[in-house]
Structure 1
Amino acid sequence: MIELAVFDMAGTTIDDRDEVYRVLREATERFGASYTDDEFQQWMGTEKHWAIRNLLRIGGVDADEDLVERAWSWFREELRRTYTENPPTPLPGVEEALRSLRSHGVKVALTTGFSREITDLILEGLAWEDGGVIDASVAGDEVAAGRPEPFMIQRAMSELGVTDRENVVSAGDTASDVESAKRAGVISIGVLTGHLSHEDFEELGADVILPSVAQLPDSELVGAGA
């Protein structure tokens, strides 16, 4: 029986119109970084401060701590501005799916490469914490390292009192989501609401591939438990 379902945010449970990736790219390119789309995609879903540091390096910028912090500060301010002016919304059917899981005794947690301040900005706009949609959330700056490390999944399990990894699923739309789930030893689910194809997730070795989180409550994987 599935006890806990862990979900990424942008591209998995919420539609932010890809603003996080626009802002992430601008935050590095405006300081001189230049890289390919494939190189950029490798950092989707990872903790954003770490992503900025590495994208600057990959992009040919000899970035000291001051420059990294300037790029990080610009990223935070611009993302806060765009999310305040045009808040992210739930992807179709996702909120209903999360409510369905919880109504059948499955705990729901969100993990994200966003900092806590951005995570709270989004959750306040969605009213998910106060509206009975999720049980917990873990931000990228609350653990020693974000995805692809397993620490956010492990923290969600600890906070919600779940110890059996075989009873945990973790869903996301990026390669780092799948890798994080694998490192945590939980069931990895790739969802096709981001930029990766079914074939991409097959190559990554995802345990389950779904069109969307909205299909999870009715899937064979969770059906027995929900």
Structure 2
Amino acid sequence: MKQVQAVIFDLAGTVVDFGSFAPTTIFVEAFRRGFDFDITLAEARVPMGLGKWDHIKAVGELPEVAARWQSQFNRAMTITDIDTIYRTFMPLQIAKVADHAELIPQTERVVSELRSQLIKIGACTGYPRAVLDALLPALTANGFTPDCILATDDLAAGGRPGPYMALKNVIELCIDDVKTCVKIDDSVPGIMEGKNAGMWTVALLLSGNEAGMTLAQYEKADLTTLKKVRQRAQEAFQASKPDYMIDTIADLPRVIHEINGRLLQGERPS
């Protein structure tokens, strides 16, 4: 009988860093330090999930950002500019990433429940390896120890939305059927990564980038506020067509149970 064999987790906004603030705030700072150029936190969030160099490039291509850059510098952003911002970003992110390593509530319980079902735990991230290596000790200390974890620059083929990190997890975890794998992520490129790999995909609506709330804001929000934020996040994910959309990782076990039932019926990911 085919049942879920592995879950491949994203990191920021999925299992750590409620609201995905570690990368977004550093992008704002890197643009400012590199060129005395301001972007908003909302603009920094738009391409979330991509590798960080590609993320900087995508922010620079946003029409409103490109127009302000042209106005300030009398030219378009260049590859050299992107390289400069990336070089500024890296030490800032390495220094700060461990400050955002607190696990999202219920992560340990959910992972323990998955392991009790003999489900393997994989992970991948839009962080480059140097940033991931700075984060790993804090991840381990806080109780998240996946069986495999990959950074966006670990593979020559590249990162999201390509399937490569997800499929490398499949290989390293010795999974014999990709359709028994689940990819869970708070970003559209992360969902597309899972879909391109042929996995079930689960989008997170309230703990990650699309909602952009701190844990305190989430816990204090009333039902009306949560409904509005949830609807906004659902609209953001709509084009990527995830198989499931849930609020946080706490809701994952019921999804795994449903996927197991669908696998028994011979269904495949959408």
Which structure: greater helix fraction? 2
Residue 153 of structure 2: SS of its match in structure 1?
A: helix
- The one-letter code sitting in structure 2 at the alignment partner of 1:78 is L
What is the CA–CA distance in structure 2 between the aligned matches of 1:36 and 1:19, rounded to whole Å?
A: 14
Which structure 2 residue ranges, 5 or more long, are not aligned?
A: 70-75, 212-229, 264-270
State the Cα deviation string for residues 154-190 of structure 1 (Å, max 9, x = none): 1111111113121010001111122111111110101
Give the C-alpha shift of residue 96 in structure 1.
2.1
| Aligned counterpart, 1:206 | 242
What is the CA–CA distance in structure 1 between the aligned matches of 2:154 and 2:133, rounded to whole Å?
A: 13
Alignment of 1:104-143 (within 5 A): 104-127=117-140, 133-143=145-155
What is the CA–CA distance in structure 2 between the aligned matches of 1:221 and 1:7, rounded to whole Å?
A: 18
Work out whether 1:170 is the aligned partner of 2:183: yes
Give the C-alpha shift of residue 38 in structure 1.
6.6
Give the C-alpha shift of residue 215 in structure 1.
2.3
Work out whether 1:45 is the aligned partner of 2:49: yes
Which structure 1 residue ranges, 5 or more long, are not aligned?
A: none
Q: Max radius of gyration: which structure?
A: 2
What is the CA–CA distance in structure 1 between the aligned matches of 2:249 and 2:168, rounded to whole Å?
A: 21
After superposing on structure 2, the runs of 4+ consecutive aligned residues of structure 1 that deviate more than 4 Å are 32-40, 222-225
Work out whether 1:215 is the aligned partner of 2:251: yes
What is the CA–CA distance in structure 2 between the aligned matches of 1:37 and 1:87, rounded to whole Å?
A: 16
**TM-score (norm. length: structure 1):** 0.85
Residue 43 of structure 1: SS of its match in structure 2?
A: coil
Give the C-alpha shift of residue 6 in structure 1.
0.5
Change (3 A) 1:164 1:123: same
**TM-score (norm. length: structure 2):** 0.73
State the Cα deviation string for residues 57-101 of structure 1 (Å, max 9, x = none): 4432534443322211211111122235x2421100112211221
- The answer on whether the counterparts of 2:126 and 2:160 sit within 8 Å (CA) in structure 1 is yes
Task: Tell which deviates more after alignment, 190-199 or 177-186.
Answer: 190-199
Aligned length: 223
Match of 1:12 among 8, 11, 14: 14
Identity of matched residues, %: 24
What is the CA–CA distance in structure 1 between the aligned matches of 2:115 and 2:103, rounded to whole Å?
A: 17
What is the CA–CA distance in structure 1 between the aligned matches of 2:243 and 2:122, rounded to whole Å?
A: 19
| Aligned counterpart, 1:2 | 4
